[in-house]
Amino acid sequence: MKGRSDDLVLITGDDPAALARAASASVGEPIPWVGAGDERASSATVWFASSLPPAAALELPALRWIHCAWAGVDRWVGRPEWREEVMLTRTIADLPRRMADYVFGYLLAMELDVARSRRQQEERRWERWTAGTLGGKTMLIVGHGEIGRVVGAGAKALGLRVLALRRGPVSETERGEGVGSSESLPAFLAEADYVVNLLPATAETESFWNASRFAAMKRGAVFVNVSRGRSVDDAALLAGLDQNRPARAILDVFRAEPLPTESPYWAHSRVWVTAHVAGLGTDETEGVAFAENWRRWRAGEALAHVVDRARGY
Active site amino acids: 228, 276
Q: Does 53 bind ligand NAP (CB under 6 A)?
A: no
* 200 lies in the binding site for ligand NAP (CB under 6 A): yes
Cβ contacts of residue 35 below 8 Å, gap of 6+? 10, 11, 12, 16, 17, 41
Contact call for residue 178 and ligand NAP (CB under 6 A) = no
When asked if residue 198 is in the footprint of ligand NAP (CB under 6 A), the reply is yes
Task: Give the DSSP H or E segment for 19.
Answer: helix 16-27
Closest C-alpha to 95, from 68, 75, 76, 77: 68
User: Of 108-167, which residues contact ligand NAP (CB under 6 A)?
Assistant: 143-148, 165-167
How far apart are CB 85 and ligand NAP at their closest, in Å? 23
Minimum distance from residue 101 beta carbon to ligand NAP (Å) = 12
Instruction: State which of positions 263-302 bind ligand NAP (CB under 6 A).
Output: 276, 278-280
Under DSSP, the state recorded for 209 is B
Residue of 93, 199, 221, 251 interacting with ligand NAP (CB under 6 A): 199
Instruction: Work out whether 88 is an interface residue with ligand NAP (CB under 6 A).
Output: no
Element (H, E) at 48: strand 46-50
Please tell me whether residue 68 binds ligand NAP under the rule CB under 6 A: no
Candidate list 201, 222, 259, 288; residue touching ligand NAP; CB under 6 A: 201
The span from the CA of 299 to the CA of 294, in Å, is 8
Q: Are 178 and 163 in contact (CB under 8 A)?
A: yes
| Tally of residues, the chain | 313
The one-letter amino acid at 132: G
Question: Is-cis flag, bond preceding 258, omega within 30?
Answer: yes
Chain residue at closest Cβ approach to ligand NAP: 145
For ligand NAP, the binding residues (CB under 6 A) are 71-72, 95, 99, 143-148, 165-168, 182, 198-202, 204-205, 226-228, 252-253, 276, 278-280, 313
